[in-house]
Amino acid sequence: MPTPHGGKLVSRTLTKQERKRALETASSLEKLNVPPAIASDAENIAKGVFSPLEGFMTREQLETVLHLMRLPDDTAWTMPILLDVSKEKAEKLDEGDDFTLYHNNQPLALLHLEEKYTFDKDELAKRTFGTLDLAHPGVTMIRNLGPTFLGGKITLINEPKTPYDKYKLEPMETRILFEEKGWKTVVGFQTRNPPHLGHEYVQKTALAFVDGVFVNPVIGKKKKGDFKDNVILEAYNTLMKNYYLKESIVMSILPFEMRYAGPKEAIFHAIVRKNFGCTHFIVGRDHAGVGNFYGPYDAQRIFENFPDLGISPLFFKSFFHCNRCGSVTNDKACPHDEKDHTNFSGTKIRKMLSQGQIPPKELMRPEVADVITRHVNPFVE
Amino acid sequence: MTKEKKEERKFTTVSIPTPLFKKVEQRIKDTGFTSVSSYVAYVLREIITEEEEEEPFSEEDKERVKERLRALGYID
């Protein structure tokens, strides 16, 4: 089992007794309502998913992450984890004070405010996403942030609820689960789509080298046209039930809002899975990319800069179905012409499903397609 | 704070013998490394990355977690 990132699994949660006291304190403090994405980040910090972070980033942390892709103590880290507020709200908060984060009218966490600061948004966007193009959803997201950032440790009071909490495991739980299953090596698989045969092929190829697969779908706000969270989970459950050994696969969700930062987000995704206890992580073509902002294999190349990451990436090229091979394969293994190939195009599969058509069995397992088409609208509107 | 000052805070200087510097310079030609400094930082990070002992969970924690995993159907 890999050591958690930074050496220690962070826990910023409370015992029953401590929580009771915190709730009493929370009601008397200045309040700040936070959106779902911040609530997820707070939960992930508190439960060690983002170890070694113990809170939202201070300026020094943000600067070293943007400039060096490392935290101030040299631990590899690539994504800013920020808490933004309006100018008016920032004026009410003093450094050194505690205040309460609220989500859905419930106290979510205490923030021990270490620092409030401003930061140039263009620099933040450029260094995170490599672009200032507003067509990039991450750039737009940064533009829409409040002007002041709050840095400091948090203490979780209440877990944000999702309709899928029975699929939510924290790193401590997955680590004990992997140990219980006798897995010494585990490959993490990040996804935000129902599985097609290409995904299954990648996972099963990886399974030839490791003891288990940890499928970890990202749950949360998505783009219009993306698959709904419940559709993804039902599709994976069906695939696992029909085509996997129960002993070889585990699925749990990751509440997180994708940033689409391509290579930098690939490193971040690997760190998160390391904290869950994975020894390996699958990085495919254009991992966490969007549009044409990143090269198809940039997210694989970036790992060269992180010899000390503590989780081994497994790089995969694009797979396709070859009619002449009669199987899923890739351009390293298949000698046949492109006309014999059927690509696993997400757009194509989505289009067929949206028209109520079942994709061919070379692309998607019929049972999986059936589960998806049973939904009147499987897509985010 | 000026940009130069910020950069100064994030890096420091380490001396290595000039012949070694030149050897490294030769070695990184036509590689992805853009400077001797980035190569040296890479090598040092590789060397100092050591397997640390994982902090074990307490038996009480383990039992509590296993109970939840059983209830959720993750283990029998």
pLDDT, tens digit (0-9, with 9 covering 90-100), for B4-48 = 555 555 788 999 999 999 999 999 887 778 889 988 988 887 777
Domain residue limits at A326:
165-373
Asked whether residue B68 is domain-assigned, the answer is: no
What CATH number does residue A206 fall under? 3.40.50.620
Whole-angstrom Cα distance, residue A44 to residue A169? 11
Residue A370 pLDDT > 80: yes
Average confidence (pLDDT) over A128-138: 96
Do A109 and A146 share a structural domain?
yes
Domain residue limits at B19:
1-50
Average confidence (pLDDT) over A354-360: 88
Do A49 and A180 share a structural domain?
no
Task: Decide if B53 and A3 are in contact by the 8 Å CB cutoff.
Answer: yes
Residue A300 pLDDT > 90: yes
pLDDT at B55: 66
Looking at per-residue confidence, does A326 or B3 come out higher? A326
Do A208 and A88 share a structural domain?
no
Asked whether residue A379 is domain-assigned, the answer is: no
Do A220 and A175 share a structural domain?
yes
* Residue A378 CA from chain centroid, whole number: 21
- pLDDT cut 90: percent of chain A above it: 85
Task: Please identify, among A156, A189, A211, the residue that sits at the C-terminal boundary of a domain.
Answer: A156
Do A81 and A150 share a structural domain?
yes
Asked whether residue B34 is domain-assigned, the answer is: yes
Asked whether residue B35 is domain-assigned, the answer is: yes
How many residues in total does chain A contain? 381
Which pLDDT tens digit goes with each residue over A216-244? 999 988 777 889 999 999 999 999 999 99
Residue B62 at interface with chain A, using a CB cutoff of 8 Å: yes
Do A130 and A264 share a structural domain?
no
Measuring CA to CA, how many Å separate A99 from each of A27, A28, A77, A146, A204?
Answer: 9, 9, 27, 18, 47
Residue A266 pLDDT > 70: yes
Task: Decide if B65 and A173 are in contact by the 8 Å CB cutoff.
Answer: yes
Q: Identify the weakest region by mean pLDDT among A35-39, A86-90, A142-146, A307-311.
A: A307-311
Angle CA(A131)–CA(A134)–CA(A135) in degrees, nearest 5? 95
Contacts of A181 in chain B (CB under 8 A): 75
Average confidence (pLDDT) over A105-127: 97
Q: Chain A: residue nearest B68 by CA? A: A173
Residue B56 at interface with chain A, using a CB cutoff of 8 Å: no
pLDDT at B4: 53
> Please, what is the average pLDDT of chain A?
94
pLDDT band of residue B3 (cuts 50, 70, 90) is: low
Q: Tell me how many domains chain B contains.
A: 1
Which pLDDT tens digit goes with each residue over A15-28? 889 999 999 999 89
Whole-angstrom Cα distance, residue A273 to residue A266? 11
Asked whether residue B21 is domain-assigned, the answer is: yes
Q: Kindly state the DSSP code that residue A126 receives in the 8-state scheme.
A: H
pLDDT at A94: 95
Asked whether residue A77 is domain-assigned, the answer is: yes
Asked whether residue B74 is domain-assigned, the answer is: no
pLDDT at A256: 95
Task: Decide if B57 and A305 are in contact by the 8 Å CB cutoff.
Answer: no
pLDDT at A278: 98
Q: Are strands A31-33 and A98-103 parallel, antiparallel or unpaired?
A: parallel
C-alpha distance from B55 to closest chain A C-alpha (Å): 7
Return the number of other C-beta atoms located less than 10 Å from residue A26's C-beta: 23
Asked whether residue A70 is domain-assigned, the answer is: yes
Report pTM: 0.92
Asked whether residue A381 is domain-assigned, the answer is: no
Whole-angstrom Cα distance, residue A142 to residue A149? 12
Residue A46 pLDDT > 90: yes
Site of tokens 């499928």: A215
Task: Decide if B75 and A307 are in contact by the 8 Å CB cutoff.
Answer: no
Average confidence (pLDDT) over A364-381: 92
Do A170 and A66 share a structural domain?
no
Whole-angstrom Cα distance, residue A115 to residue A102? 19
Asked whether residue A177 is domain-assigned, the answer is: yes
What CATH number does residue A139 fall under? 3.10.400.10
Asked whether residue B12 is domain-assigned, the answer is: yes
Residue A79 pLDDT > 90: yes
Task: Please identify, among A100, A121, A156, the residue that sits at the C-terminal boundary of a domain.
Answer: A156
Looking at per-residue confidence, does A264 or B37 come out higher? A264
pLDDT band of residue A371 (cuts 50, 70, 90) is: very high
Q: Tell me how many domains chain A contains.
A: 2
Average confidence (pLDDT) over A97-105: 95
Asked whether residue B11 is domain-assigned, the answer is: yes
Determine whether A192 is an active site residue: yes
Return the number of other C-beta atoms located less than 10 Å from residue A20's C-beta: 10
pLDDT at A139: 97
State the catalytic residue, choosing from A19, A59, A127, A193.
Answer: A193
Average confidence (pLDDT) over A202-223: 93
Q: Identify the weakest region by mean pLDDT among A77-81, A186-190, A354-358.
A: A354-358
Asked whether residue B62 is domain-assigned, the answer is: no
Do A135 and A89 share a structural domain?
yes
Do A93 and A51 share a structural domain?
yes
Average confidence (pLDDT) over B55-76: 92
Contacts of A173 in chain B (CB under 8 A): 65, 68-69
Which pLDDT tens digit goes with each residue over A328-348? 998 889 999 999 999 988 888
pLDDT at B54: 62
Q: Are strands A84-85 and A148-156 parallel, antiparallel or unpaired?
A: antiparallel
Residue B5 at interface with chain A, using a CB cutoff of 8 Å: no
pLDDT at B6: 53
Do A124 and A201 share a structural domain?
no
Q: Chain A: residue nearest B7 by CA? A: A67
Residue A366 pLDDT > 60: yes
Contacts of B46 in chain A (CB under 8 A): 307-308
Looking at per-residue confidence, does B55 or A115 come out higher? A115
Asked whether residue A219 is domain-assigned, the answer is: yes
Task: Please identify, among A99, A131, A156, the residue that sits at the C-terminal boundary of a domain.
Answer: A156
pLDDT at B2: 53
Asked whether residue A378 is domain-assigned, the answer is: no
pLDDT at A7: 86
Average confidence (pLDDT) over A28-48: 96
Do A129 and A90 share a structural domain?
yes
Do A177 and A135 share a structural domain?
no
